[in-house]
Structure 1
Amino acid sequence: MSAHPRFSLNQATVKYASLAEAIDVTKAAGIESIGVWREPVADIGLDAATRLIADSGLRVSSLCRAGFFTTPEGQERMAALDDNRRAIDETAALAAAGAAGSAAVLVLVAGGLPAGSRDLKGARERVRDALGALEPFAASAGVTLAVEALHPMFAADRAVVSTLGQAIDLAVDAGPSVGVVVDTYHVWWDPDVFEQIERAGRLGRIASYQVCDWLTPLPADVLLGRGVPGDGHIDFGGLTRAVEDAGYTGDIECEIFNADVWSRPYAEVACEVSAAFTRVVAPELL
């Protein structure tokens, strides 16, 4: 069994798997790349995690996730920035341990409104300031900070960055070591998405491409409404062609948040999403 050479299994798709288990099912499915999450790394420690990655022979496509820096000045904000610096170091270590072609990309989710706040503009300004503060540290570590715009329904609690255009603006303001994530689930609805993908490519800012589908009806917990590519409403052909035309040549992650997917055997899920990628996304790859 083999997967498309650019397909990467993001650990969120097999959420309850340990890092060792996720590596095993990735390799068994013939997948060459894995997107790693910080929590399973923390469970065993960075040194053990890097050894597992080095022994696996897999590429690392990204580390998820850091960010969450919309709080006002104070101890909480300082702690968030310190945590992001640790995440940058983790990203560099895991990418160095991975096979050739690994990407030192740290995915960032901006964070929502602070408790009791309605100041969306101020929260976005604090995201800009945090990226500017972190960019030199990331550059010195050889890490790209990848800002992920989330669908507007998450603006209050998860990410005040709601469009790809906003993410690109932040990246450009912060410096050359900041890019963006193009996540189909979060950007497919945007009437300006194709223009913004072209812009991101022209500026050399596409750091990651993630794919999953938009399912309806939405579940009660809307965070868990992601589906296997091809099962929902997203035009993967158009979006993938746009990302390819914009010059992105890296691994493409499948990242699914879905309780039903999470409840199934990891190996079964890995094979299913790999097959869906080959069927729905791969025909558009150059």
Structure 2
Amino acid sequence: MKLSLNTATVKRLTLAEAVAGCVDAGITGIGVWRDRVAEAGGGAAAAKIIGDAGLVVTSLCRGGFFTRPGWEADNRAAITEAAELGTRELVLVVGGLAPDSRDLPGARALVLDALEQLVPHAREVGVRLAIEPLHPMFCADRAVVSTLGQALDLASHFAPQEVGVVVDTYHVWWDPQLFEQIARAAGRISAYQVCDWTLPLPADVLLGRGHVGDGHIEFAPITAAVLAAGYEGHVEVEIFNEQIWAAPGNETIATVVSRHTTHFPEF
């Protein structure tokens, strides 16, 4: 499978530096976070940096956070940026509970309402909204959608080309229904993101991701299921880890390539 580097994995590199690192390492795709787009001067400028290097933009991270004030304008801007970058996939981290709220059903209902408001604009510019379920430990603050099944239930209200889902190994590997739900996701997998579940978790659990092969996830059966569901895109490596961020970017990229070669050879 083709390899993509998510810019979050090399958080301290500029977009231009990350792109250059991909080219030097033979990586053909890049997943971009919006802070790197802003730093580069906007969607058109970022698209030129990436396009001139011959890379494919596999995703834009991120929209969502539907319980935050101003979410609609921010998401519309993210949709426009995705179109400018030339990527079809805008990753949505849907958001947690509203401030000072315990209304979990209400927060989940807001997700469908938000999708209904955003899909027409996304459809108009050729962008698919990609719901990313997050591990349940992030339910309160980051994503009230915790399983691939929940994400697919929401996506089912829309055409496959309008709303897709993200399969991120870090967030879904534990799910007893994972393989059933990946099969159900045929035609809707917007991105396949990988990193490993390592222990012990740090104090900030958001930063607990490791390089592929350093933790507890068995990647081969998940990858096989994603391919069987018809996914033809890149494997996008997205890691949040302070120690990895502190390492030289070229070393991190070399490790990403090495682990990809080791853990995805049959694909």
TM-score (normalizing by structure 2): 0.97
Q: How do 1:26-41 and structure 2 match up within 5 A? A: 26-41=22-37
- Secondary structure of 2:157's match? helix
Moved segments of 4+, more than 4 Å = none
The answer to whether residue 152 in structure 2 is matched with residue 161 in structure 1 is no
Number of residue equivalences:
265
Of residues 10, 17, 31, the one that matches 1:14 is 10
Residue deviations 1:127-147, cap 9 Å, x none? Answer: 111011111111111111110
Match of 2:94 in 1: 110
Cα pair 1:147 1:180 within 8 Å, conserved: yes
Deviation, 1:82, is 1.1
Alignment correspondent of 2:220: 237
The unaligned stretches of length 5 or more in structure 1 are 96-102
Give the secondary-structure state (helix, strand or coil) at the position aligned to 2:255.
helix
Partner of 2:256: 273
Structure 1 segment 25-104 matched on structure 2, within 5 A: 25-46=21-42, 47-71=44-68, 76=69, 79-95=70-86, 103-104=87-88
Match of 1:172 in 2: 156
Q: Percent of aligned positions with the same letter in both sequences?
A: 58
How far is the alpha carbon of 1:64 from its aligned partner?
0.6
| AA matched with 1:231 | D
Matched with 1:187 is: 172
CA RMSD of aligned residues (A): 1.1
Aligned-pair distance for 1:88? 0.7
Q: C-alpha separation between the residues in 2 aligned to 1:224 and 1:282?
A: 27
Distance 1:281 1:125 in 2: 38
* Inter-CA distance 225–245: structure 2 relative to 1 (3 Å threshold): same
Distance 2:168 2:264 in 1: 13
* Structure 1 residue 153 displacement after superposition: 0.1
Within a 5 Å distance, the mapping from 1:119-268 to structure 2 comes to 119-176=103-160, 177-201=162-186, 204-268=187-251
Query: Any conservation in 2 of the 1:34–1:58 contact (CA below 8 Å)?
Result: yes
Q: Give the partner amino acid of 1:24.
A: A
Structure 1 distance, partners of 2:218, 2:134, is 18
In structure 2, what is the Cα distance between the partners aligned to 1:64 and 1:276?
A: 23
Where 2:155 maps in the other structure, the secondary structure is helix
SS at 2:185 equivalent:
helix
Query: One-letter code of the match for 1:145?
Result: L
Kindly tell me: are residues 107 and 282 of structure 1, through their superposed partners in 2, closer, same or farther at Cα, counting changes over 3 Å? Answer: farther
TM-superposition CA deviations, 1:185-237 (whole Å, max 9, x none): 00000000000000001xx1111100100001111110011011111000101
Work out the CA distance in 1 between the residues paired with 2:139 and 2:20: 36
Letter in 1 for 2:133: A
Q: Would the aligned equivalents of 1:214 and 1:232 in 2 still touch at CA under 8 Å?
A: yes
Secondary structure at 2:156 match in 1: helix
